[in-house]
Amino acid sequence: MQEILIFRHAPHEGPGYLADYLGRHRLPWRLIRIDENDPIPSSIDGVSGLVFMGGPMSVNDPLPWIPRVTQLIQRAVAADVPVLGHCLGGQLISMALGGAVTKNPVKEIGWLPVSRVDSPAAKPWLDGLPAKFEVFHWHGEIFSIPPGATRILASSDCANQAFVIGKTLAFQCHIEMTGAMVREWARLGTDDLAPLCATVQNPQAMTAELDRRVKRLQGVADKFYDRWIQGLR
């Protein structure tokens, strides 16, 4: 059976809840650890889908693996192989497809709402989701919507929270979080938390009512992941 490749860019930013979801659906996957210099495939042969997780770096950094990853994304999209990106992963998809990644006017860190951006192309991806719902964020940059893609989510301080193009889905926000991941990021990421403001939460705020928030987020993730796996080959 063909497998999904999941690209990890930092040790603490793995697949999280997505791994649990794929396991429940008996979908085989393999982790490509960019942070440990795993080789990046040059071909999509034998691959049913590509997933790119988050990371602390910028897609504009002169890192040697970034061009290889964006070329792989281009091959996958051209071959109608589904691609999924979370935060940095979404930015990599945008760059690969002709978009740009720039500094957002404010950081978004913690639990903040996003809103649906409805359109005929967005409807299959948003089916069953409310007009506004809470997700987790940790970013200071934003992607543009690449040519031919459709924006499907926005927030008040970051217009482009998600887009789709064909079988590909890219997020600026994080829907893959587990409670353990939130706690670890809150512990490791304190340098990003200054200054505290309406869009940057302190560790106490982001871990408050955590079980309830994570459970609700994973219900949202199920909706998006259910739609994405329909395109797997």
Catalytic residues: 87, 174, 176
Nearest C-alpha neighbor of 190 from the set 214, 173, 207: 207
